[in-house]
């Protein structure tokens, strides 16, 4: 009974086929379907399966499977079309089109298109397009587009992987990987030489070139910014026109929009910097709320709330208002060590606004050399130098309690010591003391001479006295 049913089904299918299809079997051709190419043309090494598949072609070694697949192709060899209307109006050689209307009007060579209308209006060669509408209007060669609407207008030497990746971009030599990576704006996205990796990375780029964005939403709002490197989740997310920046770390420079020439490395580094330029922030939350320009912040939380420009912070605390280990001002050419956030201008009554190094605490070093531009104490040896007498010095000491031209204890306590000036003063006193010693030595030598002469006179007198006594 089962055998009879199977025979009946076979005969029924056969009758349907005989009434609707044309079968061709030869040493060079295989055809199956109404008006298939093998039934209408003489070619070599071809397989046509489906209604009007390859019915106008004269090429050889083609395989066309599907309703009207390659139906209007008039030339071209070594093609494989699989799917209804695939390669319907195509021309070219060595192409593989799989999917409804894939490669529908393509004229290029050596392409592989897979997916609904993939490469439909493409005139590309050596391209791989896979996905719904992938590379639909590609007119350049060496394009790789994989994903829903990926590389819709694909440009030469570009790779698009992910749904909507590079959908509207027409610039050359781009690499977009991720959902909406480098999607761009229809009619205006022409940026070239970009590499965007991550969902939404560089999604709004228009004419920006030579950028590298890696991470979810990295460089999301970039439009014309050029030569940027953003690495990390939301790194440089709001950058629009800023160029030559390097942002590395989760949420690094997320809010920066137009800043140029910045280097932010670390989680949240430069997070809320809006338009500052030429900054270097290195460390967790370094410069996270800073807004200035030409700053260098190094360390955990360094300069996190600084709003001014030209500052240096080396710190390791993300607690607000913590004084940094090292603080500097590039504009004033000053640096402070040990806990500064500003620089004093007066020490007592002394103006120190021109000082450039400030240190809290002691300094231990093996050697200190002081460069001294003022006149050294050798003026003491000049002929016109008025050396005070020791009586005058004694009188000054009794009245003032310190040597002439030497700061008093009160002055030192209030104003501190100028090391170079103090060294000169001490040298002055040493040289004055030397002059006193020289003068004193001369007096001693004179006294010695006088004593020697007196001794001789005494000896002569002794001799005369002895003579008188003896006579």
Comparison of pLDDT for 5 and 272, the residue scoring more: 272
Of the chain, the percentage scoring pLDDT greater than 70 comes to 95
Please state the separation of Cα 3 from the chain's center in Å. Answer: 77
| pLDDT recorded at residue 105 | 86
- In this structure, what token pair is assigned to residue 212? 């590298």
Evaluate if residue 85 carries a pLDDT over 70: yes
Greater confidence (352 vs 227) lies with: 227
pLDDT tens for 360-379 read 998 999 998 888 778 899 99
* Mean pLDDT to the nearest integer, 102-108: 88
What proportion of the chain, given as a percentage, has pLDDT over 90?
73
Tell the residue number behind the tokens 């030569």, with chain if given: 227
Residue 17 has pLDDT above 90, yes or no: no
Helix H or strand E encompassing 8: helix 2-20
At 302-341, the pLDDT tens digits run 999 999 999 999 999 888 889 999 999 999 999 999 999 9
> Hey, where are the domains in the chain?
381-470
pLDDT of residue 21: 57
For position 217, what pLDDT does the model report? 98
pLDDT in tens, 236-263: 999 999 999 999 999 999 999 999 999 9
Report, in angstroms and rounded to the nearest whole number, the Rg of the chain calculated over CA atoms: 48
Contact indicator for 224, 207 with CB cutoff of 8 Å: yes
pTM of the model: 0.81
Task: Give the CA diameter of the chain.
Answer: 192
pLDDT value of residue 45: 84
pLDDT in tens, 290-302: 999 999 999 999 9
Provide φ and ψ at 10, rounded to 5°.
-60, -45
Helix segments in 294-418, DSSP class H:
390-400, 409-415
3-state SS class at 310:
coil
């Amino acid at each position: 009974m089962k055998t009879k049913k199977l025979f009946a089904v076979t005969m029924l299918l056969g009758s349907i086929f005989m009434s609707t299809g044309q079968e061709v079997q030869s040493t060079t051709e295989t055809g199956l379907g109404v008006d298939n190419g093998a039934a209408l043309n003489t070619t070599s090494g071809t397989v046509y399966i489906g209604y009007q598949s390859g019915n106008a072609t004269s090429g050889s070694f083609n395989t066309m499977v599907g309703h009207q697949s390659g139906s209007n192709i008039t030339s071209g060899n070594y093609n494989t079309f699989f799917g209804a209307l695939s390669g319907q109006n195509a021309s070219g050689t060595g192409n593989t089109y799989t999917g409804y209307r894939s490669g529908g009007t393509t004229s290029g060579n050596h392409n592989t298109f897979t997916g609904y209308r993939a490469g439909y209006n493409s005139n590309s060669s050596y391209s791989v397009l896979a996905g719904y509408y992938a590379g639909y209007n590609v007119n350049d060669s060496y394009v790789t587009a994989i994903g829903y609407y990926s590389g819709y207008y694909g440009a030469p030497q570009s790779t698009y992987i992910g749904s909507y990746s590079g959908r509207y971009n027409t610039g050359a030599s781009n690499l977009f990987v991720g959902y909406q990576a480098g999607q761009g704006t229809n009619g205006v996205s022409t940026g070239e030489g970009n590499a965007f990796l991550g969902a939404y990375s560089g999604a709004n780029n228009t004419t920006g070139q030579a950028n590298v964005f890696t991470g979810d939403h990295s460089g999301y709002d970039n439009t014309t910014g050029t030569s940027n490197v953003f690495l990390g989740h939301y790194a440089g997310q709001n950058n629009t026109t800023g160029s030559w920046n390097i942002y590395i770390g989760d949420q690094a420079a997320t809010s920066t929009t137009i800043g140029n020439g910045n280097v932010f490395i670390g989680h949240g580094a430069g997070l809320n910097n809006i338009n500052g330029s030429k900054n270097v922030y290195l460390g967790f939350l370094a410069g996270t709320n800073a807004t200035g320009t030409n700053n260098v912040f190094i360390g955990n939380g360094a300069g996190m709330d600084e709003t001014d420009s030209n500052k240096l912070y080396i710190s390791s605390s993300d607690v607000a208002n913590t004084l940094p280990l090292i603080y500097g001002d590039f504009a004033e050419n000053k640096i402070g060590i040990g806990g500064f956030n500003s620089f004093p201008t007066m020490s007592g009554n002394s103006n120190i606004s021109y000082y450039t190094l400030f240190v809290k605490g002691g300094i231990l070093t093996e050697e200190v050399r002081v460069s001294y531009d003022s006149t050294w104490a050798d003026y003491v040896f000049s002929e016109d130098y008025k050396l005070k007498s020791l009586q005058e010095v004694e009188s000054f000491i009794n009245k003032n309690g310190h040597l002439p031209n030497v700061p008093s204890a009160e002055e030192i306590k209030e104003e501190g010591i100028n090391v170079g000036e103090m060294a000169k003063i001490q040298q002055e006193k040493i040289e004055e003391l030397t002059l006193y010693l020289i003068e004193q030595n001369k007096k001693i030598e004179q006294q010695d001479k006088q004593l020697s002469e007196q001794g001789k006179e005494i000896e002569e007198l002794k001799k005369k006295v002895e003579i008188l006594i003896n006579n």
